[in-house]
Amino acid sequence: MKIHFLGTAAAEGIPNPHCTCSVCEETRKRGGKNIRSRTSVIFDDELKVDDPPDAFYHAVRDQINFTKLKDLLITHTHGDHFTPQDLLNRIEGFAHGVNAPLHVYGNDLAVQGYRQNIPPDKNRFVYHRVLPFQEIKTQTATITPLLADHDPNETCLLYYIEKDGKQILYGNDTGWFPEATWEWLKGKQLDLAILDCTGGYYKNKRSRNHMCIETVLEVKKVFQEEHIMKENGRIIATHFTHNAGLLHEGFVEAFEPYQIEVAYDGMIINI
């Protein structure tokens, strides 16, 4: 399975165009893996998680043909993950050569947001409201939405993805997983966990809303104690902010001793 990290930043992106902090200024000088657009990932070019405002940029930069996209999973409706107006570019008359509808999955707010901007069209868009811990079979995978600890005003979701014999946890945006999510994960055998690392060093292993370096390390420890990951399973951190005070190499240095990988824009892995 091919896993393609389209964007790896939190809401501001790196560099934040309105910021002159040391990370943003150094990123402007160095470029490369330090430059991060808003977070999204795509599996086998057909299953995508989240729809950030940088989707057009991702497609052009990485030469991706979104007409091949079959399923779109939305974690929550914050503006760096949910841009329903952008999918207007897929409606009839704007987009040609679209031969099948895009199936969009999300919570109540996400589905309502898409319906308000783009009416359902059996040839272009099909919307599915999902509920935590209720398994769904999509066109491309078997999906189980899990609860996140992110925005108290919204049912924010993580996704457990079963595809081609592999088990993947897409774990952001969230702080320490809610207890119901931990209970559900017990007995699973993950090949890959993609985890939120919005913060740098918080010195708080079980923070709310977002994870940090310490939280990711603590999650790995629990994965090991509860045998949630396969022996050769991988953990990849993503969703970074300039406010962490670290460039790409700083995150690599922090995680390398623990065999945790650091995602960057355009990164492709195969599992």
Q: Which residues contact 214 (CB under 8 A, 6 or more apart)?
A: 201, 202, 203, 204, 205
d(CA 256, CA 251): 8
Average pLDDT, the chain: 96
Q: Residue 271 — pLDDT band, cuts 50, 70, 90?
A: very high
Continuous segment of H or E residues that includes residue 214: helix 213-225
d(CA 253, CA 29): 20
Q: Residue 202 — pLDDT band, cuts 50, 70, 90?
A: confident
Region 129-156 average pLDDT: 98
Region 98-127 average pLDDT: 94
Region 177-190 average pLDDT: 97
Question: What is the sign of the dihedral through the CA atoms of 224, 155, 267 and 245?
Answer: negative
The pLDDT tens digits for 60-78 are 999 999 999 999 999 999 9
* pLDDT above 80 (res 203): no
Q: Residue 149 — pLDDT band, cuts 50, 70, 90?
A: very high
Tokens 């999906």 — which residue? 143
Domains of the chain and any CATH numbers:
2-270 (3.60.15.10)
pLDDT score, position 206: 80
Give the side-chain half-sphere CA count within 13 A for 173: 30
Q: Residue 207 — pLDDT band, cuts 50, 70, 90?
A: confident
Region 99-118 average pLDDT: 95
Q: Residue 56 — pLDDT band, cuts 50, 70, 90?
A: very high
3-state secondary structure of 117: helix
pLDDT score, position 145: 98
pLDDT score, position 119: 84
Q: Residue 208 — pLDDT band, cuts 50, 70, 90?
A: confident
Region 208-223 average pLDDT: 95
How far from 230 is each of 4, 140, 154, 213, 269, CA to CA, in Å? 21, 23, 32, 22, 17
* pLDDT above 80 (res 137): yes
